[in-house]
Structures are given as C-alpha cells and as structure tokens.
C-alpha cells in the first residue's frame, strides 16, 4: 500500500456545484556466530582455556495502539506499531465473533490498515508478533471498542470509474464537502492511497478551499499504467466532531497518449498522438468580452448531445442552445464542441462565449478519438486559467503543485 498524497457512476459521488457559467452550463456531471578460542601453541606452557565469546540479544520492545480497553475508537482505526530490536512479522485483528479482519501494512510499517472501515459499536482484539534477529518473538495484544455512528459527516467523491480507461493527463481527484481545513488535511491525506503500475510516485495537492485534492506524478502517466486508488476516510475524523462518510476506491487504466494544443494566434488546434501530429483543425475561441482561458486542462466530461442554458446566470444576455459533441474543460462552462454557426469564423476570428468552437465533422472526429483525462492546452488568450476551475493540476509547475501537499514530499521526486 502506498502512503502518499484531488477522481461519474456508482463509484462517483458528486458533492459540489460550480459557481460560474461561461460558454456552456456549469453543472457538474451526474494505500555472527562466536569464534572458538584457539588452543595454546603445541609444546608451549600450559594455559587456561579462553572463554567463548557471547552475543547478548537485544530484547524486542513492542507497543501497539489503540491502547488496551480503549472505547469510542473511530471505525477508521489502524493498528499502530512501534518496535525496537526486531520487526513486526504478524498482525491479526478479529471481531467479537472471532472473525479475522483483512488489512495490510503501511509501506513504512508504522501501522496496519484494515481493508475497510470497522463496524460501529463493536469489540475488536489485535494480536501483534514481533521477531528479533535471533528468531525470538514477542507477542502483544490489545482490545478496543469502536464508536457509534457519527452525527455529522463529510461528503466525499472520487472522480474515477472502476475499470475505465483514461487519458495520460487524468489526475486522481478526491472531493470533500464541506472542505477539509488546513489543520486536518495531513490526517486525511494519510488515508488517501494511490498505487501505480509501473511505479510512478507522485503526491496529493489540495485546493485552497480544501474541497478537492489532486494526485499526480511529476509527468503525465505512462500509457498502459494501472491506477489503484483508495480514499479510506470512512469514519475518519475530518474536523471537529465530523467524520468521513465512507471509503471510496477504484482501479483504472491509462490509455494511449493523446494531446490537444490550441493556439489563439493561428486559430488552430493541433492533435498529437504519441508525440506525432495526426490532425489540425481551425477553431474559434472566446470573443474579447468572454475570452477562453489559457492553460493546461483535461477533458472532464463528454456528451454527444446536451443543452447549454445560461439564462439563469446571464439573465437577458443568456441563451439556451442545443449542442453536439461537447467535451467539458472547466467547471465554469468552457467546452470543445460542434459549432456549425461559426464555421465561417473558425480559423479567422473569435466569436464564442469562451468555448473552443470546431466544425461538426471535426467535433465528431475529436469526440470519437478522445478519452476523459486527455490533456488540452490553450495558449495566447487574454485570460489565465484559474486553479481549481476544472481539473487543473497540470497548469502549475511540479514545485508549486507539491507545495500544496499537507505531508512532506520526497525532495528527489520530480
């Protein structure tokens, strides 16, 4: 289980509503032997035999938590382990009926983490065995009782579909409602586990509000990577008298590498697969009063058909329009989509409300080609992408991203 540091379906719980609207709607989609003494030299004087050297084994010292007979323990409890003179070789946790609880050791072996939250108001007993270098063992047991159901809960979400395939820019995105305060983020982040195969170590980084945390490596994921994620906050204290609602997990794949690069100066989009250009197409971006945002985004959602309705936010200036092949880039409503009404402007001038307009044929070609998590970079507009307006961890340097972690990040990473 990797212990490190913001991821639409049964796994996805949507918690927040985006505050703004631009081109489209702003609604969000529904872990030594002693040496023998040499005898006296032959023919020499008689001498008393030398004593054998001895090795005194250091006794194993083992401390286990929760403390014995502790009550009202959160159901997120781990079996904490402090050992000197040896190492922990066995951890067994059983409920009141003697049924074993599954779990695994943290990578740093500081604790043993159950595979799912414990049951409320239940008695548990943990047995821990530590083994010294000489093979002797020390056993420690502890028993505790978990707390009842909490009155207040933090809603959670994971923007990752179990079994799905994503683009190389897909961050792991965890969501919390209400947001996690800075003082509580380290404890929460310790329970957010990500495993990558092949290994690509990364870190979590929190948005300012604490409503989302992203996980990424220094570079885009390698094609073919497997992401295994567990947001293990079910029953975890997430603030004063508030606890995480449930655990969330998903295992997903990363597909081929595809990138879209939009240049305002040329009014063109270049589509690259595995670093090679496969298509270019004219675009029309946001006009001066409603500019498109410049920055690196990812495809967040795909809808073959939808309706953009901004009448609630823009009043008399709002509009309601049927749209085909829409691909969301921001929470504020910027999309790539089919715009048959602006084909004459595409490649020449910007006329949109902030979206990337493309022709119907190009929109469908893109829609059939892309995956959620494919990176999209827009350059040269009069507006900078705001961090958190969409899945934006690639829009900052690795150093700035890592600074948002609530836990120390290895200095060599990145």
Q: Which residue, chain included where needed, has tokens 């969301």? A: 328
**77 within domain boundaries:** yes
**4 within domain boundaries:** no
pLDDT value for 267: 98
Same-domain status, 265 and 140: no
Overall number of domains in the chain: 2
Sheet order of strands, 248-254 included: 165-166, 248-254, 226-231, 192-197
User: Any idea what the CATH number is for the domain that residue 86 is in?
Assistant: 2.60.40.3780
Contact 130, 83 (CB under 8 A): yes
**15 within domain boundaries:** no
Name residues whose C-beta falls within 8 Å of residue 247's C-beta, 6 or more positions apart in sequence.
116, 117, 230, 231, 232, 233, 234
Contact 146, 75 (CB under 8 A): yes
Same-domain status, 137 and 263: no
**41 within domain boundaries:** no
**164 within domain boundaries:** no
* Cis peptide preceding 61, ω within 30 of 0: no
Task: Inform me whether the pLDDT recorded for 80 exceeds 70.
Answer: yes
pLDDT band at 38 (very low <50, low <70, confident <90, very high): very low
Contact 2, 193 (CB under 8 A): yes
Strands (E) in 78-179, as ranges, are 79-84, 86-95, 103-105, 111-114, 123-132, 137-146, 153-158, 165-166, 172-177
Tokens of 352: 């949109």
Task: Inform me whether the pLDDT recorded for 43 exceeds 60.
Answer: no
What is the rounded (10 degree) CA torsion for 61, 31, 77, 236?
140
Domain that holds residue 114: 61-146
User: Any idea what the CATH number is for the domain that residue 271 is in?
Assistant: 2.40.440.10
pLDDT band at 8 (very low <50, low <70, confident <90, very high): very low
Q: How many other C-beta atoms are found inside a 10 Å radius of the C-beta of residue 44?
A: 8
pTM value? 0.84
Closest Cα partner for 305 from 271, 335, 281, 269? 335
What number is the average pLDDT over the span 73-78?
98
**Domain final position from 146, 178, 201:** 146
pLDDT in tens, 298-332: 999 999 999 987 777 666 667 778 999 999 999 99
**229 within domain boundaries:** no
- Please name every residue paired with 407 in a beta bridge, in sequence order, or none if there are none: none
**25 within domain boundaries:** no
Q: How many other C-beta atoms are found inside a 10 Å radius of the C-beta of residue 362?
A: 22
**366 within domain boundaries:** yes
Contact 145, 72 (CB under 8 A): yes
């Amino acid at each position: 289980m990797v212990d490190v540091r913001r991821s639409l379906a049964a796994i996805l719980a949507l918690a927040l509503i985006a505050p703004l609207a631009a081109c489209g709607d702003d609604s969000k989609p529904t872990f030594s032997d002693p040496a023998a003494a040499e005898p006296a030299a032959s023919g020499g004087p008689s001498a008393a035999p030398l004593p054998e050297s001895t090795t005194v084994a250091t006794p194993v010292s083992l401390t286990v938590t929760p403390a014995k007979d502790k009550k009202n323990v959160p159901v997120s409890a781990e079996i904490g382990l402090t050992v000197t003179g040896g190492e922990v070789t066995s951890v067994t946790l059983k409920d009141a009926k003697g049924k074993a609880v599954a779990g695994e050791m943290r990578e740093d072996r500081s604790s043993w983490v159950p595979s799912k939250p414990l049951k409320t108001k239940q008695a548990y007993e943990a047995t821990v065995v530590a083994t010294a270098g000489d093979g002797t063992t020390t056993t420690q047991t502890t028993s505790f009782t978990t707390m009842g159901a909490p009155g207040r809960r933090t809603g959670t979400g994971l923007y990752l579909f179990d079994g799905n395939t994503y683009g190389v820019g897909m961050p792991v995105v965890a969501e919390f409602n209400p947001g996690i305060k800075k003082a509580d983020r380290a404890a929460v982040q310790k329970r957010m586990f990500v495993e990558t195969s092949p290994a690509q170590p990364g870190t979590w980084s929190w948005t300012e509000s604490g409503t989302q945390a992203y996980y990424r490596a220094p570079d885009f994921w390698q094609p073919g990577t497997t992401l295994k994620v567990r947001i293990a906050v079910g029953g975890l204290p997430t603030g004063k008298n508030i606890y995480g609602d449930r655990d969330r997990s998903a295992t997903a794949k990363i597909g081929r590498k595809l990138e879209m690069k939009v240049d305002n100066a040329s009014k063109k989009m270049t589509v690259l697969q595995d670093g090679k250009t496969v298509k270019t197409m004219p675009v029309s971006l946001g006009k001066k009063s409603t500019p498109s945002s410049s920055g690196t985004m990812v495809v967040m959602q795909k809808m073959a058909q939808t309706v953009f309705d901004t009448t609630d936010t823009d009043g008399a200036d709002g509009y309601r329009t049927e749209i085909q092949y829409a691909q969301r880039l921001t929470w504020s409503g910027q999309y790539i989509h089919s715009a048959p009404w602006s084909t004459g402007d595409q490649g020449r001038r910007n006329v949109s409300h902030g979206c990337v307009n493309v022709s119907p044929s190009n929109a469908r070609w893109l829609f059939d080609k892309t995956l959620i998590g494919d990176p999209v970079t827009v350059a040269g507009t009069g507006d900078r992408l705001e961090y958190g307006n969409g899945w934006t961890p690639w829009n900052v340097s690795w150093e700035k991203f890592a600074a948002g972690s609530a836990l120390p990040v290895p200095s060599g990473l990145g």
